[in-house]
Amino acid sequence: MKPIIGITPSMVPGTEDRPGRRISLAADYVQAVAAAGGTPIVLAPVDGPVDRLLDVIDGLLLSGGGDIRPDRFGDRDVHPTVDGIDDLRDTFELALVDGAMRRGLPILGICRGCQVLNVALGGTLIQDIPDQHGTTIAHRQSDQKIPASEPSHPVTAEPGSLLDTVYGTTELQVNSFHHQSVRDIAPRLQVVGRAPDGIIEAVWCPDAAWVLGLQWHPELMFQAHPEHLRPFQALVAAASVARRATAAAD
Ligand SMILES: N[C@@H](CCC(=O)NCCCC(=O)O)C(=O)O
């Protein structure tokens, strides 16, 4: 039976004629999970307990999107470039990570999702890379009109790390659509990938079953560069183990 992978969507503002916020999720995430052998479902953000959602999934995929409210990671000041904050999504995803970690569910965090993972476990973020870190790397490749399926910079993986194991190499080429990144790594996480400018591009949790955060978007690359399906295949494989363990315990 294909493991069920819960995917968190974005919340986007309504329009003048339809003012209510909308749930939004790029189909690329769904296609990547399905291509990897999983059953994708979208987890509608709710302001309340997430236990019933965690009961029905075998793995969690935290998707990309807007910035996390800085006071979630202890920053009183909000950088002027911070954008796309949605308090419901922040609360929802932080609760999902807490519950999934308690249950030992596999987690893959992509871009914002990598940052949510770090904040949920007690880490902090660089609120604006160009202003607070400084770099010659285009971490927002859309500014350079580079197609989303194509890489814009390299990432070096820690040899022997989960990232190295997943991709089968320590030298990756990735795309990039972010202006924030992990600043102080959470106590339970370790850095397993960096860009040439030192920006943290991948994290993992060594004391969890399978938890990986990636700052790039493999769901946008795997059709053109098949190696980028591997994170989803590894998530689905880990979720299959989680499902069998749950079935055995029932
Ligand atoms: N807001 C954060 C994370 C950026 C991010 O997730 N980008 C993906 C945008 C496309 C999408 O909505 O999936 C940052 O800017 O660092």
> Which of 3.40.630.40, 3.30.830.10, 3.90.180.10, 3.40.50.880 would CATH assign to domain 4-249?
3.40.50.880
> Does ligand 1 lie within 6 Å of residue 177's CB atom?
yes
Tell me the pLDDT tens digit for each residue of 18-50.
Answer: 999 999 999 999 999 999 999 999 999 999 999
Cα of 180 from ligand 1 centre, angstroms: 9
Tokens in use for 3?
């493991």
Ligand 1 atom with the smallest distance to the CA of 83 is: 1
Cα of 89 from ligand 1 centre, angstroms: 13
Residue nearest atom 15 of ligand 1, based on CA coordinates: 178
- For residue 244, the model assigns a pLDDT of 72
- The preferred substitution site among 78, 112, 174 for testing ligand 1, maximizing ligand atoms within 8 Å of CB, is 112
- For residue 246, the model assigns a pLDDT of 67
Q: What is the DSSP letter of 188?
A: T
Provide the pLDDT confidence category of residue 143 given band limits of 50, 70 and 90. Answer: confident
Percent of the chain with pLDDT over 90: 92
> Does ligand 1 lie within 6 Å of residue 176's CB atom?
no
Question: What is residue 69's three-state secondary structure?
Answer: coil
pLDDT surpasses 80 at 17? yes
Q: Where are the domains of the chain?
A: 4-249
Provide the pLDDT confidence category of residue 142 given band limits of 50, 70 and 90. Answer: confident
Cα of 105 from ligand 1 centre, angstroms: 24
- For residue 155, the model assigns a pLDDT of 98
Q: Does the model's pTM come out above 0.90?
A: yes
The mean per-residue pLDDT over the stretch 197-207 comes to 97
Specify whether the CB–CB gap between 128 and 179 falls below 8 A.
Answer: yes
Tell me the pLDDT tens digit for each residue of 58-78.
Answer: 999 999 999 999 999 999 999
- For residue 136, the model assigns a pLDDT of 87
Residue nearest atom 13 of ligand 1, based on CA coordinates: 64
Give the position of tokens 């990309």. 64
Q: What is the DSSP letter of 14?
A: -
Give one DSSP letter per residue of 122-177, joined into a string.
T--EES-HHHHT--SS-SBGGGGT--TTS--EEEEEPTTSHHHHHHTSSEEEE--B
The mean per-residue pLDDT over the stretch 205-232 comes to 98
Residue type, 216: W
Average pLDDT, the chain: 96
Provide the pLDDT confidence category of residue 134 given band limits of 50, 70 and 90. Answer: confident
- For residue 144, the model assigns a pLDDT of 86
pLDDT surpasses 90 at 10? yes
ipTM: 0.96
Cα of 124 from ligand 1 centre, angstroms: 16
Using alpha carbons, list the distances in angstroms from residue 75 to 15, 36, 69, 103, 127.
31, 38, 9, 29, 9
The mean per-residue pLDDT over the stretch 79-98 comes to 98
Query: Active-site residues: which are they?
Result: 111, 217, 219
Tokens in use for 2?
């294909």
> Does ligand 1 lie within 6 Å of residue 203's CB atom?
no
Residue nearest atom 6 of ligand 1, based on CA coordinates: 64
Question: What is residue 236's three-state secondary structure?
Answer: helix
Which of 107, 121, 123, 112 has the alpha carbon at shortest distance from 54?
107
- The preferred substitution site among 11, 30, 178, 200 for testing ligand 1, maximizing ligand atoms within 8 Å of CB, is 178
